Amino acid sequence: MRIRAVTFDLWNTLISEGEYVDLRVRYLHNLLLQRGYIRTYEDVYEAYNSSHEYAHRVTMEENNRHVPAEERIDYILRRLNVKLTPEMMATITKRFEEAILEKPPPLLDGVEETLNSLKGRYLMGIISDTGITPGRVMRRLLKRLQILEFFDSTVFSDEVGFNKPHRVIFERALKELGVKPQEVIHVGDLLQTDIAGAKSMGITAVWLNRDNTPQGPIKPDYEITALPQLINILNRTA
């Protein structure tokens, strides 16, 4: 069956992972001091890092459930033995979610070249897990990076309630693009989420392996080391 659509992972496929820990931790530390909660920067940093471990554990134990920013921040504050009003919680959540806009991550090499080559030839979508930064903020980032216009569908885990490789996030993308699994190629950098999830749906899976990491038990249909190599695969399957 002819390929009609290409979907992409986002982090480390189209954009690099930025570093926002200090922005968030410093903001929360200062806010707590202003409200009389004497906690060290190190205390807040430890609680913040622990929240990632908590989210990972919940995801693994609860069938890849997405853990939203509000739940993570609630966990951080409980670790710090801090109680804040719902209004203040909402303020912290918004600041955490939008930290990425203060220091936007760059596009990775080959992204613009690849998207421009595929534009008009294929439907294109994004299928991305989100951590603290939700889909509504990610779309603002993609617009700022001037690539949002390339995509006919953008699906984020916080909006469907589950992370990859759960099938629901792939099903949402297929529905929005109006295509069958056999008509799609999905590109991502993680075997356990992108490749396993795509293959479980019958979607052709392309592993973007920039670092030449050895393959594990999960086998992609194709492997590339640079995103523009995807163009050659699509030309062969046309």
**What is residue 17's predicted lDDT score, i.e. its pLDDT?**
84
**Alpha-carbon torsion 217, 218, 224, 229, what sign?**
positive
Structural domain ending residue among the three candidates 68, 102, 136 = 102
Residue 223 has pLDDT above 90, yes or no: yes
* Global confidence as pTM: 0.94
Residue 28 has pLDDT above 90, yes or no: yes
Residues 123 and 217 in one domain: yes
**What is residue 63's predicted lDDT score, i.e. its pLDDT?**
97
Residues 119 and 216 in one domain: yes
Residues 86 and 148 in one domain: no
Other C-beta atoms closer than 10 Å to the C-beta of 117 total 16
For 82, phi then psi, to 5°, come to -120, 135
For residue 141, the enclosing domain spans 5-17+105-237
Confidence band, pLDDT 50/70/90 cuts, at residue 238: confident
Beta pairing, strands 184-188 & 204-208: parallel
Residues 173 and 73 in one domain: no
Confidence band, pLDDT 50/70/90 cuts, at residue 42: very high
**What is residue 122's predicted lDDT score, i.e. its pLDDT?**
98
**What is residue 237's predicted lDDT score, i.e. its pLDDT?**
82
Token output for 209: 């392996």
Residue 145 has pLDDT above 90, yes or no: yes
C-beta separation of 230 from 124 below 8 A: no
Structural domain ending residue among the three candidates 81, 102, 123 = 102
Residues 176 and 90 in one domain: no
Confidence band, pLDDT 50/70/90 cuts, at residue 16: very high
Residue 2 has pLDDT above 80, yes or no: yes
Residues 146 and 125 in one domain: yes
Percentage of the chain modeled with pLDDT above 90: 95
User: How far is the C-alpha of 32 from the C-alpha of 50, rounded, in Å?
Assistant: 18
What is the per-residue pLDDT across 93-138, written as a single tens digit (0 to 9) for each?
999 999 999 999 999 999 999 999 999 999 999 999 999 999 999 9
